[in-house]
Amino acid sequence: MIVLGINPGHNSTAALFKDGKIVAMVSEEKFSRIKNYLGMPYKSIDYCLDYAKITKNDVDLVVIAGTNPRSQMLNITANGLESPVSSERGFMASLSSAVPKSVINVYSDFKWKNKSSEIKQMHADKLGFPIEKIEFLDHHTAHALSCAFNIKPNTLVLTLDGEGDGYCGTVSVFDGKNLNFISKTSQDHSLGLLYMYVTIYLGMKPNEHEFKVMGLEPYAKGERINECKKVFDELIWLKENSLEFDSKMNIHECLPYLYEKLRKYRFDYVAAAVQRKTEELVTEWVKRAIKTTGLNHVAVSGGVFMNVKVNMLVNELPEVEDLFICPSPGDESLPFGCIYYGVKKLNESQSVEPLARLYLGPEYSNDYVKNVLSNDKRLSNYKIEYHEDIESVIADLLANGKIVARMKGRCEWGARALGNRSIIADPRNLDIVKIINEQIKSRDFWMPFAPSMLADKSDKYLINPKHSFAPWMIIAFNTKPQAKIDIPAALHAYDLSARPQFVTKELNPEYYKIISLFESKTGISGVLNTSFNLHGEPIVCSPEDAIHTFLDSGLEYVAIENYLLSKQ
């Protein structure tokens, strides 16, 4: 059985299921080099098919996330296909300053209400699959089912994001095969959208810089935060005795309200207030859902759960027996849910392998790397060496205080760099934070890096009473005193929390070897890890991307497969 899952919206992604497991998954930004790419992921689809050595004729079913015809048309148009939506976009843009978005959406939804069959045929024509092999899946069903590979029957599943197919949040129960939805919240009352609009209010980029707002929160102090939070208390809440959110106004239209109400508060107070409101609402929502269903095995997905501090607090709730967080739970994970739905539609008894290793993208041979390096004349003044045991060389460099960018093996899927496309360094050295921020990443000073640590040594550093396994950098933990001694550069500078990646030999043997060798030389059981990219660019995918980052930054060392580039 072969199923292709597709998210054609922002964070456009494709994934392929074959032989009982997901064998390939990659986001289009890796090829387009446009961060959070919007539109059909044609190159990602081609990669998935090529990796599996199959053709489109071999695919049994294609499941595309999203059922809203207007959104589907906009996603097609984003790739340059001529369609009536092109002219509609201009018309809508001219209205947007005078007409509320809610009215525009009603008009546009009505216009495209009866166009589903036409849009399905357009997808079939563009993708090159027979129309009978194409299915659409509701956005939040896809989010919820993205957890299904890794959870047991009678698991409580919650999804929460900005918006998708009319909703922003759902509560359901997974019975081992299907979902039973017990609550849905309209996108008009979206906590995720509110957080996005606060990001805009603070002068940052929506759908990308929300993590910066979260990172600011620990720095804010004083009663003014509580005053500021009252603005959000009066704007959004949970309905009494309900699992639905409600709001004072349609959240799509809240930006003028925010400019009016928040202008007397300092930027860090605003960041802290919206983060604390989000934590308060989400934890209360989870507690209510557990009380309503009597279930304490919990799974979560959707963009709001990219917030690692929210996830930490949910995990700490005594009502939660165990928590599964979809890895990289933004819209890039929708193909997971699409695939699960497609597999069970074709054969309800088909088993699926749990998600574990997220190294599902492109890889490059040493021969390919050698050819790229030898043909790039810009590298003529730099040292290039081949090392059979490149892991030992990297560990030596790290132990000697050097910063190394590493590109080896298959590219990680998702928003986090998990060692195969990472910049790594000695986590003891706080000076390294400034070097990476100023010479390489151009990051805001308050944003923390993350530690990659040996899973069996994580108890040295983390307060983790539930022994939660955290291989994907999707949850934060408070830390023990030893962490401040051993890995301070990989902690949040103010509250000393950590967003760790647990590394095991099974998940990534070569990265595990680097950290183990570093430990043998230093006694430190982890390294500082940040994504291998320049500010505002996607994480590198290819050797060409790695070279570009090497040349356009202050990086001194880049390891590409078994080759080491240095500016020494």
More confident residue, 461 or 83: 461
Query: Coil, strand or helix: which one is 44?
Result: helix
* pLDDT, position 444: 85
Quick one: tokens of 557?
A: 């060392």
**Which DSSP letter does residue 220 get?**
-
pLDDT higher than threshold 90 for residue 14: yes
Round to whole Å and give the CA distance between 431 and 353. Answer: 43
Q: Which residues of 190-227 are buried (b: 16+ CB within 10 A; e: fewer)?
A: bbbbbbbbbbebbebeebebbbbbbbbbbebeeebbee
In this prediction, residue 69 carries a pLDDT of 78
Q: Looking at residues 457-478, what average pLDDT do you find?
A: 98
Cα–Cα distance for residue pair 155/444, rounded to 1 Å: 39
For 251, the token pair is: 């959240």
pLDDT of the residue at 352: 96
Give the model confidence (pLDDT) of 495-525 as tens digits.
999 999 999 999 999 999 999 999 999 999 9
Closest-CA residue to 508 (of 424, 411, 415, 437): 411
pLDDT at position 336 over 70 = yes
* Residue-level pLDDT at 116: 76
pLDDT at 95 over 50: no
> For the residues 44-71, what does the mean pLDDT come to?
95
Q: What is the mean pLDDT of residues 221-226?
A: 94
Architecture of the structural domain at 152-325: 2-Layer Sandwich (3.30)
181 or 95, which is more confident: 181
Residue from 395, 423, 430, 409 nearest 517 by CA: 395
**112 or 431, higher pLDDT:** 431
Greatest alpha-carbon span in the chain: 68
Q: Tell me, what amino acid is at 320?
A: V
C-alpha 538/C-alpha 557 separation (Å) is 20
pLDDT for 71 equals: 77
Q: State the average pLDDT over residues 89-99.
A: 45
Q: Given a cut of 80, is residue 433 above it in pLDDT?
A: yes
CATH class as words, domain 2-141+336-346: alpha beta
- Note the CATH number of domain 366-566: 3.90.870.20
Residue 424: predicted pLDDT: 98
- 3-class SS at 479? strand
Average pLDDT over residues 487-492: 98
Backbone angles phi, psi at 185, to 5 degrees: -110, 130
Condensed to tens digits (0 to 9), the pLDDT of residues 407-426 reads 999 999 999 999 999 999 99
Domain ranges of the chain: 2-141+336-346, 152-325, 366-566
Q: Look at residue 499 in the predicted model and tell me its pLDDT.
A: 98
Beta bridge partners of 495: none
Instruction: List the structure tokens of 108.
Output: 């546009």
> Between these two residues, 113 and 253, which has the higher pLDDT value?
253
Q: Do domains 2-141+336-346 and 152-325 have the same CATH topology?
A: yes
Model confidence band, residue 82 (pLDDT cutoffs 50, 70, 90): very low
Q: Give the model's confidence band at 113: pLDDT under 50 very low, under 70 low, under 90 confident, else very high.
A: low
% of the chain beyond a pLDDT of 70: 93
Percent with pLDDT over 90 in the chain:
88
Assess contact for 345 and 135: CB atoms under 8 A. Answer: yes
Q: Is the pLDDT of residue 93 over 90?
A: no
In this structure, of 110-114, 378-382, 557-561, the range with the lowest mean pLDDT score is 110-114
pLDDT at 89 over 80: no
Mean per-residue pLDDT of the chain: 93
Alpha carbon 355 to its chain centroid, in Å, reads 15
Q: Are strands 526-531 and 383-386 parallel, antiparallel or unpaired?
A: unpaired
Q: What pLDDT, on the 0 to 100 scale, is given for residue 548?
A: 98
Confidence of residue 319 (pLDDT cuts 50, 70, 90): very high
Range of lowest pLDDT (45-59, 107-121, 267-281): 107-121
- Supply angle C-alpha 392, 393, 395, rounded to 5: 65
- At residue 106 the predicted structure's pLDDT band, cuts being 50, 70 and 90, is low
